[in-house]
Structure 1
Amino acid sequence: MPPTRRPRSASVPRAETIAERIAERAREAGPRARLGSRQELREAYGVSIGTLHEALRLLQSTGEISVRTGPGGGVFAGESSALSDLVRSLHPLNIDGPLYPQTARVLEALRPLVFADAVDGMTAAGAMSLRQRVTALTAARDGDLQTFVRSSLEVFATIVSIPPAGILTAVAGSILRTQMDTLRHLSGPIDPQWRADVDRHHDAVSDMVGALIERDADGALGRASDPAFMGLFAAVAARATP
């Protein structure tokens, strides 16, 4: 019998809000500055001791604060370090500028690793799944733009899912989901001016999949770098902006 999932504490959302406020206070105070005692912070933010403890736990996990006991103790701003600065810059995550070009750039950098893992983990079932995705992409050439683009991204999602789940799979999969969400506003038929690019994109994807099935990662990378392949996605991304 699977274990029963514990309900999420109602204090967690409140704790995250308080954690943000304490983190801002720590940034303003500077590294190692004393922020106050637990009691002083609880009174300053008007929260229960349980909520404060959860907020402090969240901040300690990222190195944004430290808690000391005994005389002269209390809650202190964390040490400044490259790692803690990076964590602070990502919490909360704010992405400025067009999202699709950023995700495309990251995926392009990850592609050699993704393809190498796919080649190493290729199985008969994986090859069959890829062929099915290419068949769906072929059928989508005569459909609407959103279906074609989604079918292409589904090919890459299948490639990512071939090796056993790991950090690379999780990262690449997350970026692909972001791309799919970014392109959700696409609608309408494929523009005639894009027909040649759509056909070249389809052929590049088909050849890329064939190379992966033959365990030729370099050949697959070459086809994925086709200018028409990348250009089509940039064009549809611009159209997808609501």
Structure 2
Amino acid sequence: MPGDRIATKDELRQDTGLARATVSEAVRLLQSQGRVVVRPGPGGGLFVAPTDPVVRLGQTLLAVHSEPVTVADAVAVRDSLEPLVAADAARHRSARDIADLRVLLDAMSDAVADPERFLRANWRLHERIAQIVANKVLQTIYIGLAQFIQDQALAVSHDLSPHEHAVYKQHRLHLHVDLVQAIISGDPDQAELAARAHTLDYRSGAPIAAEVD
């Protein structure tokens, strides 16, 4: 609810195990979206911001003090959270969660030939994984970043031929199959490894700086 206290930056670092710079960047992005406010002093910290429709309307041209907030920035922070989200989901998944993940993975498989449907099915799968997370601080930050990325509605070009594009999407699907299977197995270490593989390009092994799925 608007006005609810979330935590301080120090509490976020302790709860999530993330580096100071990662937490600061995540907080900056959430502030830029108008999702949180930061209050200094005793009893201060991060609080749920009041809903402001103007903030949402202006997100496609979002800037903070003349510094652009790009999708790549959000993706970089989100990717650093993926292993934590996957590991926590593996620890806490229920029978209902498992059933939902399988349905969403099937929907993603059915959409391989349609880039827009594939991307949206991908987003729904990741959001459902995040909903399993018991650490509410981690869950809030991750879902907030994911929503920011989705709100931008930007496509990513990989400069591939149609055949290469099809191969690439199949590869991405297989990575998500591995991720879901690791979460279903209840093995946090395997889920973390699968999440790290999810952020790597299948050709070069290098992190995808602006990958949105």
Which TM-score bucket, shorter chain as reference? 0.5 to 0.7
1:228 matched to 2:206: no
Structure 2 residue corresponding to 1:118, chosen from 68, 89, 106: 89
Distance of 2:208 and 2:122 partners within structure 1 = 10
Structure 2 residue corresponding to 1:101, chosen from 44, 54, 72: 72
Structure 2 residue corresponding to 1:62, chosen from 33, 37, 40: 40
1:204 matched to 2:163: no
Distance of 1:112 and 1:234 partners within structure 2 = 17
Query: What letter is aligned with 2:188?
Result: A
1:163 matched to 2:133: yes
Distance of 1:232 and 1:204 partners within structure 2 = 14
Q: Which residue of 2 aligns with 1:66?
A: none
How far apart are 1:234 and its partner, in Å?
Answer: 4.9
1:214 matched to 2:192: no
How far apart are 1:172 and its partner, in Å?
Answer: 0.7
TM normalised by structure 2 equals 0.59
1:169–1:124 CA distance, 2 compared to 1 (3 A): same
**1:1-242 equivalent positions in 2, closer than 5 A:** 61-62=39-40, 94=64, 96-97=67-68, 99-143=70-114, 145-164=115-134, 166-182=136-152, 184-186=153-155, 192=162, 193-226=164-197, 227-228=200-201, 234=209
Tell me, what secondary structure is at the counterpart of 2:167? helix
Question: Aligned-residue CA RMSD in angstroms?
Answer: 3.5
How far apart are 1:107 and its partner, in Å?
Answer: 1.6
Q: Is this contact kept in 2: 1:201–1:228, CA < 8 A? A: no
The number of aligned residues is 151
Give the unaligned 5+ runs of structure 2. 1-36, 46-62
Q: Is this contact kept in 2: 1:201–1:232, CA < 8 A? A: no
1:126–1:191 CA distance, 2 compared to 1 (3 A): farther
| Sequence identity percentage | 21
TM normalised by structure 1 equals 0.52
Q: Which has the higher contact order (CA 8 A, sep 6+)?
A: 2
Q: Which residue of 2 aligns with 1:21?
A: none
Deviations 1:125-168 (A, max 9, x none): 0001111110110011022x222112112111111001347111
Which structure is larger by alpha-carbon Rg, 1 or 2?
A: 1
Q: Is this contact kept in 1: 2:90–2:191, CA < 8 A? A: no
Give the unaligned 5+ runs of structure 1. 1-57, 64-82, 85-92, 238-242
1:113–1:156 CA distance, 2 compared to 1 (3 A): same
